[in-house]
Amino acid sequence: MDQFTLNLIVVGATFALYIGIAIWARAGSTAEFYAAGRGVNPVVNGMATGADWMSAASFISMAGIISFGGYNTSAYLMGWTGGYVLLAMLIAPYLRKFGKFTVPEFIGDRFYSQTARTVAVICLITASLTYVIGQMTGVGVAFSRFLEVDNLTGLLIGATIVFFYAVIGGMKGITYTQVAQYVVLITAYTIPAVFISLQLTGNPVPPLGLFSDHVGSGEPLLATLDGMLRDLGFNEFTQQTDTTLNIFLFTMSLMIGTAGLPHVIVRFFTVPTVASARSSAGWSLVFIALLYLTAPAVGAMGRVNLIDTFYPNGTSAEALSVETIDSEEKLDWVRNWAQTGLLQYEDKNGDGLITYVADAELNELSVNRDIMVLANPEIANLPSWVIALIAAGGLAAALSTAAGLLMAISSAVSHDLIKSQINPSISEKGELLSARISMAVAIVIATYLGANPPGFAAQTVALAFGLAASSIFPALLMGIFSKRVNNKGAVAGMLAGLGITVVYIFLHKGWFFIPGTNSFTDADPLLLSIKSTSFGAVGALVNFAVAYLVSNATEEPPAEIRELVESVRIPRGAGGAVDH
């Protein structure tokens, strides 16, 4: 059976599974659509949250980023997993005890302000749309490579699948579909990693293989990789090249951004009790750790295999020839990925060889980091069924997170705008219909932006994390733990944190939207060594400071609001939650 047919069968089977689950778990009420009826088991919810969180960025991009960034990029692992510790300790149990459906609803009620609720909706939609563009783009990339269709066709197929199980099933359908998607993506991620770890180190456990000896050199794998990179003029894999300040702030931005992302938070509204919300966060971390502990090994081993491919006799020996690339069957993967434009090679000096070095003037090979996980099985010459599995896994990761983000957007529009402000007297049936229409519109917009991504969204997810870190997370934390912060302070803090973060990111990236320009590379940091991806933590500090200053300069919140904060924070009744 040829590779294309196998890919089609495996991916088609997973799609059929998702659709079948959606039909079985169809939402029949707003409680089921928004929060899966609040009856999801903590372990099941932990698995669904893992799939919701492990997006195309985690499955496809993270190992590629680590592969080329080395030590500095370990912040992704610490930040994204650390965010779940913050969720478990500071956010999830208290929001579940509050008993609402959405993040803006909590902010609006806690700060007794429709303005605060509207600002939270704007932050949520902007962050979620920015994030979902990357997921839809990832769907297009995976389809174009493995199912041999153009990017737009792949996007439309993916959008149709999401439309079916998200619009029909709501949070209930999404939850159980995400459980299946987690099983698919974690299986697809770990099996190739086990094969490659065995090939390179003889150790079947990738995280342990990372610190084992390389079978070829007899030296530790990381030492071997450092030597390869050093010979080619690249920074060593284990070398720190960024400042400690920027790495620290980047880690903090990812942590509080994770804890403030609405599509992650709403998952904890689906469990039956406050205690199960905390347990659910713990299980989420366990399921996420299975992939995150493997990612550094995938990144390092993928880079070793990439260099070995283009320097088969050692990095100081003769490079791979163009003739060999064009003729050898085992190098089909190079030609296939070259057709997508994500890998490019060109014999610039006419010597017939493809030189892969750090010097931009001499380098003749360009590799997009996003292909490292998807191409890894092909680079390592693994069986065809493993390649088909990685295709299904990449699509599962992108679709699961896209569904979660679209659910957050739909809930914000139907529940926090239509139900709360535009038409408070709407019936439950009408609200359910508006939620499904909102979801459908969000999918159409996300598909369009995935096919025509704005430069800023295609280049980085810093804006999504920066928005969540600098606007939503501080408002939630102050809403739970401070009785003094009032509505004026909360609104001023969110706008200040959001505003300064957006301005810094756009200035740092050079995004001035001047007609005819397309420069999206980082400029020099505007403040100390702080890059745009790290500024969310600074924006959060600005949010906190402004909120407290404005609150202390204005009237105290009403007595009933102070009592509300007290009732949410006190552990009394932690075994159950009262729904309002």
pLDDT on residue 453: 67
Residue 470 token pair: 């600098």
Tokens describing residue 529: 């060594």
Q: Which domain holds residue 49?
A: 3-255+264-302+384-454
Q: Are 202 and 215 in contact (CB under 8 A)?
A: yes
- What's the CA gap between 456 and 511, in Å, rounded? 7
**What are the pLDDT digits (tens) for 368-420?**
887 888 888 888 888 888 888 888 888 888 778 788 888 888 888 888 888 88
Sign of CA dihedral 430, 433, 438, 439: positive
Structural domain includes residue 248 = yes
Count of helices and strands (H, E) across the chain: 28, 2
Taking the CB of residue 290, how many other CB atoms lie within 10 A of it?
A: 14
Q: What is the DSSP string of 206-267?
A: HHHHTTSB-TTTSSBHHHHHHHHHHHTTPPPTT---S-HHHHHHHHHHHHHHHHH-HHHHGG
Position 52 scores a pLDDT of 81
Q: What is the DSSP string of 23-85?
A: HHT---SHHHHHHGGG---HHHHHHHHHHHHS-HIIIIIHHHHHHHHGGGGHHHHHHHHHHHH
Residue environment code for 423-443, b if the CB has 16+ CB neighbours within 10 A, otherwise e: eeeeeeeebbebbbebbeebb
Tell me the three state secondary structure of residue 321.
strand
* pLDDT tens digits for range 159-201: 888 787 777 777 777 888 888 889 999 999 999 999 999 999 9
Task: With respect to residue 307, please indicate whether it lies within any of the assigned structural domains.
Answer: no
pTM, rounded to two decimals: 0.83
Vertex 489, ends 579 and 260: CA angle to 5°? Answer: 55
- Sorted by sequence, the CB contacts under 8 Å of residue 549 that are 6+ apart come out as 489
- Stretch 37-59: mean pLDDT: 83
* Nearby residues of 275 by Cβ (< 8 Å), 6 or more positions away: 93, 574, 575
Surface-to-core class of residue 336, CB atoms within 10 Å of its CB (0-12 exposed, 13-18 middle, 19+ buried): middle
Q: Give residue 509's pLDDT.
A: 58
Where residue 520 falls among pLDDT bands split at 50, 70, 90? very low
Selection from 16-25, 437-446, 467-476 with the highest mean pLDDT = 467-476
Q: Is 39 left (phi over 0), alpha (psi -120 to 50) or beta?
A: alpha
CA 106 remoteness from chain centre: 24
- Assigned domain for 104 exists: yes
Give the confidence band of 354 by pLDDT, cuts at 50, 70, 90: very high
The DSSP element (H or E) to which 345 belongs, if any, is strand 343-345
Query: Following CA atoms 11, 193, 174, 83 in sequence, which dihedral angle do they give, to the nearest 10 degrees?
Result: -150
Q: Which two tokens stand for residue 92?
A: 């999830």
At residue 525, does pLDDT exceed 70?
Answer: no
Q: Assess if residue 357 is contained within a domain.
A: no
Whether residue 419 lies inside any domain: the answer is: yes
* Alpha helices, H only, 412-427: none
* Distance, first Cα to last Cα, the chain: 57
Q: How many domains does the chain have?
A: 1
Instruction: Label residue 553 exposed, middle or buried (CB < 10 Å: 0-12, 13-18, 19+).
Output: exposed
Q: Tell me, what DSSP letter sits at residue 205?
A: S
115/10 Cα distance (integer angstroms): 48
pLDDT of residue 36: 67
The reported pLDDT for the residue numbered 461 is 60
Q: What is d(CA 410, CA 415) in angstroms, rounded to the nearest whole number?
A: 8
pLDDT of residue 493: 95
Q: What is the pLDDT of residue 511?
A: 45
| Region for 343 from its dihedrals, namely left if φ exceeds 0, alpha if ψ lies in -120 to 50, beta otherwise | beta
365's enclosing H/E stretch is strand 365-367
Residue 343 inside a domain? The answer is no
**Is 247 a domain residue?**
yes
- Look at residue 121 and tell me if it is in a domain: yes
